[in-house]
Amino acid sequence: MTAGSVLAGAAHPVAEGLLLRPFRDEDAPALIEAYRDETLRHFTLNPVDDAEQAAHWLGLQYRGWEQGSRYSFAVLEPDTGALVANVALKRATPGGPAAEVGYWTAAPARGRGVAPRAVEALTAWAFDTFAAEGLVRIDLLHQVDNLASCRVAEKSGYAFRELLTALPPEFPLDGHRHSRHRPAKPAGRHC
C-alpha cells in the first residue's frame, strides 16, 4: 500500500458517493476552515488555526504514512472536490493486531452519514490491506458526551465493548470503546 491509495465511499440516500485519498498540501485552506467549528475544537487535541499549523498537521499525516503509524484520508465530495471529512487508521504499534479509527466531519457536511461511510470504507481497506500483518481488531473511542460519535460507531458496525475511565487532562470524561473484528474468511466448500 502507498500514499497514492484512493478509496470509494458508498452513496447515501441524500448524498453522492465519497472519494477518500491521502491529504495533500493543497488541503491546508479547507483544513483551517474546518477547524473553525467549535464542536470540532471541543473534541480535538490539536486544532489547526493558520498556515503554519496546517503545514505541521499535514507533515504529521505524511510521516504517519511513511512510518506505518497513521493512515489518514481526506474525504472529498467527488463532484465538487470539497473536503468534507478526515478519517484515519492509527497504528500505535505498526504491525500489531489492533488499530484505532479516528474521524471528524466538517460542520456543513454533518448529518448526511459522511463519517459512517468513510469509516466503513477505511475499515474494509484496513482489514484487507493489513490482513497479512495480522490486523484483527479496530477500536473506536469517544467520550461519553459525544453522542454523535457514538451514533457513527453504531452505524459503522462498531459494537460497544466497554466503558473507559477518564484520563484528565487529555480526556476529562469517561469514554466508550467500540470495536470491529476482521471478518472470518468464508469456509471452503468441500463438495
Ligand X SMILES: CC(C)(COP(=O)(O)OP(=O)(O)OC[C@H]1O[C@@H](n2cnc3c(N)ncnc32)[C@H](O)[C@@H]1OP(=O)(O)O)[C@@H](O)C(=O)NCCC(=O)NCCS
Residues that bind ligand X (CB under 6 A): 39-40, 43, 103-105, 110-116, 142, 146-149, 151-152, 155
The residue number with the shortest CB distance to ligand X is 111
Q: How far is the CB of 112 from ligand X (least distance, A)?
A: 5
Distance CA 13, CA 10 (A): 10
Q: How far is the CB of 4 from ligand X (least distance, A)?
A: 25
Q: Torsion angle of alpha carbons 47, 7, 179, 86, nearest 10°?
A: 10
Q: How far is the CB of 41 from ligand X (least distance, A)?
A: 9
DSSP label at residue 183: P
- Nearer of residues 38 and 79 to ligand X, judged by Cβ: 38
- Nearer of residues 123 and 146 to ligand X, judged by Cβ: 146
Distance CA 72, CA 89 (A): 6
- Nearer of residues 65 and 149 to ligand X, judged by Cβ: 149
- Give the Å distances, CA to CA, from 188 to 79, 101, 127, 128, 181: 41, 31, 20, 19, 20
Q: How far is the CB of 114 from ligand X (least distance, A)?
A: 4
Cell of 58: 499535514
- Nearer of residues 11 and 147 to ligand X, judged by Cβ: 147
